[in-house]
Amino acid sequence: MQPVREDGTQGAGQDEGGRGPDDAGRGSYEDGRRPNGAARGPYDNGRAYRVGNGPLDPAVRSRRPDATGGERRVRWALRWLPAGLIVLGAVFFWFTPEGLRSSPMFETTPLVAAALLSLRGTVAVAVSALVVDVTLEILNGTAGTPDALTQMVSQVVLGGLAIVINVLIQRNYRRLTSARHVAVAAQRAVLPNPPDGFGTLRVAARYQAADADARIGGDLYAVQEGPYGVRCIVGDVRGKGLEAVESVAVVIGAFREAAEAEAGLAGVARRLERALQRQETGRSGLDRVEGFTTAVLAEVDRDGGALRLLNRGHPAPVLLGPDGAARTLQPHEHALPLGMGDLGTWPDEVTEVAFPPGAALVLFTDGVTEARNRAGVFYDPLTLLDGRLFDDPQEVLDTLLADVTRYTGGRVADDMALFALARSRAPVGGPPAPPSSAHAP
């Protein structure tokens, strides 16, 4: 396939017109370091955030995920539903025979508003429904009848009940939002903020949370430079919630220690296995026997010429060649995830491939590979990545995230962690290298 230069590809968090204003200073990953001042904040565009080009934003800002066109239309219709019920009740009252009553519509309208609107909106709807009902009874000359008076009293009681219900709903919503922000902050604290790169290696990372109603997941990534080269891990801890975040902290801590001390990736995997087993001894129930972590370990030696991988039950990464060709690095034999060593032991398989200048390794969690479209078909990253050239690893991940969002129609069912290593022709922060032939006009 003929490689195509990706100019102006819209990524996560960019303007609809393509590359945002922060992209003006972006060069190829042969061009050196991107200025920190141009980095995008961690929570731009609602859910996705970027790390690796500047410090993490310490504030956890509450922003709802971007809604699709259909969701916006539904929200708009629900906001106007109480008003529509009041109008319908008035029409029913005025154009139907005397024996038919429209009281159920006026009485239920405040209760509907309590579940859909703010406190101010609920009060406005309750008062409006009562005023319209009383006005219609007066114009009809039936305001003093027992049925009309009973209906008005019911309106007042149900309106007050709707206000109480709305206050309770808003209070619970604030508590749930606060609890979720605490969990998100805990997850952000254990996820590293990787540097821009190491020598000729450029680094990029992304994390995109699932829908706002989903629980916090256990996706993780980390990178460590040591005596044996640059090593990284991308993994996914079983489960959700704060217990998953605790396991993420254990895995990352064990990885950083092992990456410095172990001579090979197999030794790093054994260290992680023991760390997870120690953690499981303090748990009870299913978490004690069913806890595990899928992970891919990667290592680039100090001269950058070779890439080594060890896969423990994780989605296979994608290798992008200097010419734009992409291929999945599947292991010859699949292994069990980390934390399941009690089921058996066997030698870990380490795969080694060439990693020339201009190549990039893209790692991700199952939130990418298990994303589905409306027909239920799983997403294949190779469909997007094969045959394309990208300016830098930041653009690779931005484009991949945007494509997954487009493919699923904006309904992200699982968290996604993405990590990319790209080998440039000049050290990070050094003088720019001459452009490659693949980028020549």
The residue that leads in pLDDT, 36 or 216, is 216
- Whether the Cβ atoms of residue 137 and residue 148 lie closer than 8 Å to each other: yes
- Domains for the chain: give ranges and CATH numbers: 69-181 (no CATH), 195-439 (3.60.40.10)
What 3-state class would DSSP assign to 85?
helix
The residue that leads in pLDDT, 145 or 57, is 145
Q: Which pLDDT belongs to residue 133?
A: 87
The count of other CB atoms within 10 Å of the CB of residue 425 is 19
CA atoms within 13 A on the CB side of 98: 5
- Whether the Cβ atoms of residue 202 and residue 422 lie closer than 8 Å to each other: yes
Residue 37 has pLDDT above 70, yes or no: no
Tell me which long-range contacts 198-201 makes (C-beta under 8 A, separation of at least 24).
Answer: 198/225, 198/230, 198/428, 199/302, 199/304, 199/427, 199/428, 200/304, 200/357, 200/423, 200/424, 200/425, 200/426, 200/427, 200/428, 201/230, 201/300, 201/304, 201/421, 201/422, 201/423, 201/424, 201/428
Give me the mean pLDDT over the 205-223 stretch: 77
Confidence of residue 123 (pLDDT cuts 50, 70, 90): very high
Per the DSSP assignment, residues forming a β-bridge with 206 are 50, 418
Confidence of residue 289 (pLDDT cuts 50, 70, 90): low
Q: What is the pLDDT of residues 262-279, one digit of tens each?
A: 999 999 999 999 998 888
- Whether the Cβ atoms of residue 386 and residue 403 lie closer than 8 Å to each other: no
- Whether the Cβ atoms of residue 326 and residue 382 lie closer than 8 Å to each other: yes
Burial of 168 from C-beta contacts in 10 A (0-12 / 13-18 / 19+)? exposed
Residue ranges of alpha helices (H) inside 191-204 are none
Q: Which pLDDT belongs to residue 104?
A: 80
Q: Which pLDDT belongs to residue 161?
A: 94
Q: Which pLDDT belongs to residue 329?
A: 94
Per the DSSP assignment, residues forming a β-bridge with 299 are 231, 308
What is the Cα–Cα distance from 170 to 173, expressed in whole angstroms? Answer: 5
Q: Which pLDDT belongs to residue 16?
A: 36
What is the Cα–Cα distance from 392 to 426, expressed in whole angstroms? Answer: 13
